[in-house]
Amino acid sequence: MDAAAADIRYLNTLRVHWKRNKAFPSMAKMADVVGLKSAAGVFALVGRLSDAGYLQRTDGRIAPTKKFFSYRLLGSVRAGVPQEVDQYEGFEVLNVEDYLIAHPERTSFCTVRGDSMTGAGLLDGDIVVVEHNTPTKPGDIVVAVVDGRATVKSLALEAGEYVLKPENPAYEVIRPGESLEVLGVVVGSFRSMRR
């Protein structure tokens, strides 16, 4: 195994450790975690991963960078007729947070319940990324409180009044009786295909 492939293997081992513990092992224990035999090997590995932008040293400890949480982007793959496989010499990386979250200070997540938004690609159990304090316009998918009850729907304008439109013909448009407050705009979504 070449050095670059070994470093990726060590990096992935550290990612697994971080996911389980939300922290790195101490330098003394890192040799056992990644499978190295000496402290010198650990220091060299940390140096290489720091130089590559995956780790940083903070107050005498190692810490993850944004790149640590980035994963390989293999390119695009057709969902229809299979395509020829490209051989990538290098690869791009993608950080999900960078892709989905533009304003972390005013972003939250919300779990979708029900099937009223299937036409917009939102399924029961999906997580939506909600951006607060964002201007809204008709056509936006929003998390709103209508007459004291929360929902995820498309914002629409009918006869000069805002309404909440489901994206499933089995459901009716919600017209507020007393109040409608948009809590935030849905700017993305994600789901786990396996648990």
Selected catalytic residue, list 26, 29, 116, 165 = 116
> How confident is the model over 144-168, as pLDDT tens digits?
999 999 999 999 999 999 999 999 9
Which amino acid would we find at residue 101?
A: I
Which pLDDT band, with edges at 50, 70 and 90, does 96 fall under? Answer: confident
Q: What is the pTM of this model?
A: 0.77
pLDDT of residue 181: 97
Domain 101-190 has CATH 2.10.109.10: yes
- Non-local (6+) Cβ contacts of 83 within 8 A are 77
Selected catalytic residue, list 70, 153, 154, 189 = 153
Q: Which residue, chain included where needed, has tokens 């020829």?
A: 84
- Counted residue by residue, the chain has a size of 195
Q: Is the pLDDT of residue 1 over 70?
A: no
Task: Confirm if 128 and 143 have CB atoms less than 8 A apart.
Answer: yes
Which segments of 37-165 does DSSP mark as H helices, in order?
A: 39-51, 96-100
User: H or E element: which one contains 185?
Assistant: strand 180-190
**Catalytic status, residue 153:** yes
Q: How far is CA 49 from CA 11, 28, 62, in A?
A: 8, 17, 10
The DSSP bridge partners found for residue 165 are 154
Domain formed by 3-69, architecture: Orthogonal Bundle (1.10)
> How confident is the model over 126-136, as pLDDT tens digits?
999 999 999 99
Would you kindly state where each structural domain of the chain is located, as residue ranges?
A: 3-69, 101-190
